[in-house]
Structure 1
Amino acid sequence: MKKLVVVGLGLIGGSLARDLKLRMDYKVYGVDNNINHINKAIELGIIDEEGSLNDVADASVVIVAVPVNVMPEVIKKVLDKVGLETLVFDVGSVKNEICKAVEYHPNRKNFVAAHPLAGTEFSGPEAAILDLFDDKVNIICEADKTDWRILDNAISLFKKLNMHIKMMNPVEHDRHIAYVSHLSHVSSFMLGKTVLEIEKNEQAIFDMASTGFASTVRLAKSSSSTWTPIFLGNKENVLQSLKEYIKNLSEFKEMLENEDAEGLNKTMNNTNYIKKVLNGIEQNN
């Protein structure tokens, strides 16, 4: 039976372990600094055994799914120990620093810099679910630096998960992801914070919360220990996206203060174009 080592047993690492164990018949070893995560992952059948970084030496596949601030060092430690044909890939949502960190590693050819665009607002091994990656996009950066046979194995694995593969430069990835993912999380966190600060009567919030509010603020339930390193790791791009977002909020506020119905209507009508963009993305996928 092929051996899979998953380093980091949160939502993404745990969900990958679940799916690959079922779809590709791996024996799964889990590595995590939190012993409670190990015990829960074994209890839930996500992993077969607790492992260590020494297990990567004879593994077919190693997945690194730790917070992005420690990911470069963990990847390098894994690459120090891997076998000649071992596939190593990460799932980090910030790619440029990771790619730079492993650029000159002797086993760089074993590594695939990946970012599966999937997830929920929940965390920990309890959050791991089957089929999380079906019909989702998986971005691969610097594919040309991976041995073609290992890259082929990675693409075959991602196809088993029913993912759509996109190739992208890591710098472009980090800039784009700041707008389509990181800014969304900032907005959700700050919307939740604003409402909690203004509306002290929590029951009133729950009584009046519509599905629109619930869906908009859903991401505010995400783990701060996951997202603080992401925001800091992609700091410059997040700051730029926030600068433009705050400018638009200020303009909206000014139109409202001036009772500029024409401006408000035009702004919202123009923004309705997002429906066409998103529909096109869904059709292409």
Structure 2
Amino acid sequence: MLDTNQLYFHRWWPLVGGIAAATVSVAVGTWWWYRAPPAGKAVESKTFDIKETTLKAPSEWVPVAKVSSIFIYPVKSTHAVSVQEAICTPHGLKSGSIRDRVFMVIDENHKFVSGKVLPKLVLVSSKLEGDTLYLSAPGQESLIVNLKEVEQENNIITCRMRADDIDGLDLGNKVSEWLTAFACPSEVGIESLHIVYHYRNQSTRKWEESEAFPLLKASDNSFYADMTAGMLLSEGSVEDLNSRLKSNLSGISVGKGVTPLHFRPNILVSECEPYAEDQWKWMRIGEVIMRQTGPCSR
């Protein structure tokens, strides 16, 4: 499990868990990283193969930070759920009945709709208890969805998310009407909103290996997350960003600035230098080993 007591990791990059069903917890421990050879020096070698060099987990670790928070986003693009511990699976974090990004918002054409398109989506909160999904939003009556009934109705929709076609079970008209009334999609030319459910325990998505993400393997997949199973961010990086915003936007109000949740991390760490996580190729929290696959596009 992920336990924020013991942390041995990397920064705000998409991550891949190396051990299925291990637990991670919040702010309880030290996190460690493996110090890889300097990138420039290694690349100069004609025989250097980044995948052969970095896809094997190291045996020696250095403590670098502590886990301060763990977040799961049951419904992609909506409000985060803060948890004290989570199981790290190949497809994302899990805590009790809550799994990361197993629900996704789509439009009437079955295309994924993000919080960037409809910012009000981030105000939608969700809670999972067994086979029941609870949805709430400001000014709206809470909605209860029986997932067993959704599975029995078996209304499978093939959705378009970025460049992928992914199946999901439609949660039904009641959910569609509720979310459409709240998020006002007509303001951006969308007729209606729907939520689909990734009912399978395995992801069918496959990544194509590319030079852009040399550490990404075909088997590194998630449910409805943009890329891989998780993303890690340090508090120091966010604090440094806010200080830069204030100094570079002198005379312009930046309000409360940027919060870690603007970057939607799964794991937030503290007690490290800003952007230190950019250098972590391998991370470990307790017995959970994770591999960096690439930077967060946010």
Scaled by the length of structure 2, the TM-score of the pair is: 0.22
Larger C-alpha radius of gyration, 1 or 2?
1
Q: Which has the higher contact order (CA 8 A, sep 6+)?
A: 2
Which protein is richer in helix relative to its size?
A: 1
